[in-house]
Amino acid sequence: MGFTNVVTLLSGIALFLFGMTLMGDGLKKVAGSKMELVLYRLSGTPLKGILLGTGVAAVIQSSSATSIMVVGFVNSGMMKVNQAIGIIMGAIIGTSITGWIICLSSIGGGGIFEIISTTTLTALIAVIGIILKMFTKSEVNHYVGDIMLGFAVLMFGISTMSGSVEPLRESPQFIDMMTSFTNPLLGILVGLVFTSIIQSASAAVGILQALAVTGAINFQLALPVIMGIAIGAAVPVLLSALGATVSGERTAFIYLMVDTLGVIIFSILFYAANAIFDFSFMTVTMNMVAIALLNTVFRAVIVAIQAPFIWLLEKIVKNVIKDNEEVIEELRDVDRLEERFLDHPALAIEQARIVIATMASLTEKNLRRALKQLSEYSEERKAKIDEIESVIDTYEDKLGAYLIRIMKQELTEEQNKAVNKYFHAITDFERIGDHAQNLEECAAELASKKIRFTPMAVKELKVLLGATEEVMDLANKAFVGDDLEVAYQIEPLEETIDNLCDEMKLNHVDRIREGICEYQHGFVFNDILNNCERIGDHCSNIGIAEKAVAYGIESHDMGTRLELEKEHGFDQKFEEYQKKYSLD
């Protein structure tokens, strides 16, 4: 096999990978968000999860992409780990569809077979695909064109790979090397390492199918390589879980565990049986169809063996990846929401207040972390922010459900007011948490794109972030301490933040117009301003709720509210904040 053949093989692999990516992306775009919705809504039982995972992976032709999607669901709290296990198992089966598509490249011959040969089909599909892509206006047609062009490139890549390895049929060295793979562990290692490098099980199986044309691939070699490919496919899923929550990490680890346990169990059973019965098919030469069939059967068998034990797999992964002790500690206050207190509303309301105070403290600390990210980015801090945001969401869910149950009890007028205030508070604190995470994402964009604001923009941001930090501190103190005097300091500071944001936007436009700043930087800059402004608005809501309960007024009664603000020195405080947070 000369240099030209090696280059041709590499180009075939490149075309195959590109075609598979193009076709998969097109399929995902045609499906739109429906695929995610299907996964999210219809994975109630293990069997449904397996069937759905199989279907989705077959459509997008990637078990890794399907599993990464599921890691995202679990990471965001939308799906539980036990639901995810069934989908991952199904994805492991569904990804084998690519091998069958590749088998189309073996179609050929004379007569009618010449019309439906790979070359003819690929050419027709490529022509139709380019027409849809270039000469139609519909976005869906463009995506369908991508699918067809991707398929054509994939098939051409397979043909190129097959043609490049054809000379190996006559190579004694290659045949000797292939027949030397008598140790299954070596075959598993080869499949694992190769798949880890190219990060695609479908592509690895496709390359194995291309090598099958040499006639040197027999069952004894193909089986362990396919088992190694299954384990190696876990690499991109594991990479997707970096920085994820504990549940997200567990979901990614499940993929590796199902494949690895499947390989171990299958190997023990199969090779033990072979030792007893001495299977005659071990030396059978494999073709493309035989490899596709073996890949599908192997994957279906390992899933069938493990499917009844999903509960056990979940238990194992929880023992391997333990809950974060800090998160457990931060969620400990949720245990205060005792069902037994519901018969005593005063006690239940007080417990809810204590838990909301903890939620408020977590929100303020997370906001401080996010603000620090803007000047000093850290991946470790990012992971902490994401982790605590998930905790804050849990607080909102638990508190919301508990407050609804309290409202079903017989409450006094004062208790009703308190519960209503708490409802508003948990919503505002949760939304502040969301905006803190948005600010962290802005910081991540600044770091990844190496965006540097001008000294003037940095100076202005420092002023705004200081005001944002203070308004959050005031809102927290007003709620936790039930402090009206502090609550009356929020509105003038929130008004100051609004004015700051307006002034900073105008200044930034001027800098762009003068060529001092690049206009692309303006998008991130405006995102930071908008999030700070919204944080101020939610802090204002918390202060308004405190005053509304204290004075027995409706929060939307603007006239009364303005009078009360003036009585409590709004103008004086506003002037003080204007001086304190001046951009001059």
Q: What is the pLDDT of residues 147-173, one digit of tens each?
A: 889 888 877 887 787 777 777 666 677
Of 48-57, 194-203, 406-415, 540-549, the range with the lowest mean pLDDT is 194-203
**Judgement on whether residues 354 and 445 belong to the same structural domain of the protein:** yes
Of 4-13, 455-464, 467-476, the range with the lowest mean pLDDT is 4-13
**Judgement on whether residues 165 and 33 belong to the same structural domain of the protein:** yes
**Judgement on whether residues 426 and 413 belong to the same structural domain of the protein:** yes
Most confident of 108-112, 114-118, 393-397: 393-397
Q: Does pLDDT of 38 surpass 80?
A: no
**pLDDT tens column, 286-297:** 998 999 999 999
**Judgement on whether residues 265 and 156 belong to the same structural domain of the protein:** yes
**Judgement on whether residues 355 and 290 belong to the same structural domain of the protein:** no
**Judgement on whether residues 516 and 431 belong to the same structural domain of the protein:** no
Count of domains forming the chain: 3
Q: What are phi and psi of 557, to 5 degrees?
A: -80, 85
**Of 176 and 52, the one with more pLDDT:** 52
Burial class (CB in 10 A: 0-12, 13-18, 19+), 168: buried
**Judgement on whether residues 419 and 493 belong to the same structural domain of the protein:** no
Q: Does pLDDT of 131 surpass 90?
A: yes
In a 3-state reduction of DSSP, which class is residue 110? coil
**pLDDT tens column, 286-326:** 998 999 999 999 999 999 999 999 989 989 998 888 776 66
Burial class (CB in 10 A: 0-12, 13-18, 19+), 99: buried
What is the pLDDT confidence band of residue 113, given thresholds at 50, 70 and 90? very low
CA angle 465, 466, 472 (to 5 degrees): 85
**Judgement on whether residues 205 and 272 belong to the same structural domain of the protein:** yes
**Judgement on whether residues 469 and 445 belong to the same structural domain of the protein:** no
What is the pLDDT confidence band of residue 553, given thresholds at 50, 70 and 90? low
Its domain, for residue 546, covers: 451-584
Residues 319 and 332: their CA atoms lie apart, in Å, by: 20
**Judgement on whether residues 350 and 284 belong to the same structural domain of the protein:** no
- Please state at what angle helix 484-513 crosses helix 570-580, rounded to 10 degrees: 40
Q: End of a domain among 289, 320, 351? A: 320
DSSP state of 322: P
Mean pLDDT (whole number) for 5-34: 76
**What pLDDT sits at residue 178?**
62
**What pLDDT sits at residue 292?**
92
Mean pLDDT (whole number) for 187-201: 84
The CATH number given to whatever domain includes residue 528 is 1.20.58.220
Q: How many CB atoms lie within 10 A of CB 527?
A: 15
Q: End of a domain among 417, 450, 483? A: 450
Q: Does pLDDT of 25 surpass 50?
A: yes
**What pLDDT sits at residue 558?**
53
Q: What is the mean pLDDT of the chain?
A: 84
**Judgement on whether residues 373 and 277 belong to the same structural domain of the protein:** no
**Judgement on whether residues 392 and 540 belong to the same structural domain of the protein:** no
Q: End of a domain among 405, 434, 450? A: 450
